């Protein structure tokens, strides 16, 4: 895994953080996953340790929860 | 302001996030400020919107709170 993965759910906090992360890391270095639309990736995100969105999974497997938009329980609803 | 500023307080969550951010953004693009040691910068951090550490202030003035190490109230103690 060489790219980071940015998980979000379309919330305003998510969109703002997405812009910030892409500005910092570069668009080519981050895969953006909208868990509200890509619901079959919720399980993958939870296994990686994502507890809320927006969150950034780094290439070394750490999860950075960025501010707070919604819990994974909310995303699943 | 062209660099990001990473505010932390030396906590384990802070150190881990610092490594992740430096790995993602590059060491030359981020100034690291230890608010436990640089206590005269606490006011500046709060004015920028930092509510807990670790936090990253982006070049465009947004604050990303990364996971949760300690509140600013704890940092001031």
Domain that holds residue A59: 4-76
With a CB cutoff of 8 Å and minimum separation 6, the contacts of B55 are B6, B7, B8, B45, B63, B64, B65, B66
Check CB contact of A26 with chain B, cutoff 8 Å: no
pLDDT in tens, A26-63: 999 999 999 999 999 999 999 999 999 999 999 999 99
Instruction: Please give the ipTM for the structure prediction.
Output: 0.89
Q: Check which CATH number belongs to the domain holding A21 and give it.
A: 3.40.30.10
How close, in Å, is residue B62 to chain A by CA atoms?
8
Q: Could you give the number of structural domains in chain B?
A: 1
Give the least confident one: A6-15, B1-10, B39-48: B1-10
Q: Contact B23/A64, CB-based, under 8 Å? A: no
Contact B55, B65 (CB under 8 A): yes
CB-CB neighbors (< 8 A) of B59 in chain A: 23
Check CB contact of B48 with chain A, cutoff 8 Å: no
Q: What is the mean pLDDT of residues A64-71?
A: 94
- Burial class of residue B72, CB neighbours in 10 A (0-12, 13-18, 19+): middle
Distance CA A45, CA B43 (A): 36
Closest chain B CA to residue A68: B65
Structure tokens at B46: 């709060």
Nearest to B54 by CA among B76, A61, B5, B41: B5
Q: Contact A20/B67, CB-based, under 8 Å? A: no
């Amino acid at each position: 895994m060489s790219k980071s993965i940015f998980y979000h759910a379309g919330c305003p906090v998510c969109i703002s953080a997405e812009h910030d992360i892409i500005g910092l890391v570069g668009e080519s270095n981050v895969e953006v996953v909208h868990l509200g639309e890509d619901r079959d990736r919720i399980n993958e995100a939870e296994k990686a340790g994502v507890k809320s969105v927006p969150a950034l999974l780094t290439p070394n497997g750490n999860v950075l929860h960025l501010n707070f938009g919604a819990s994974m329980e909310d995303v699943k609803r």
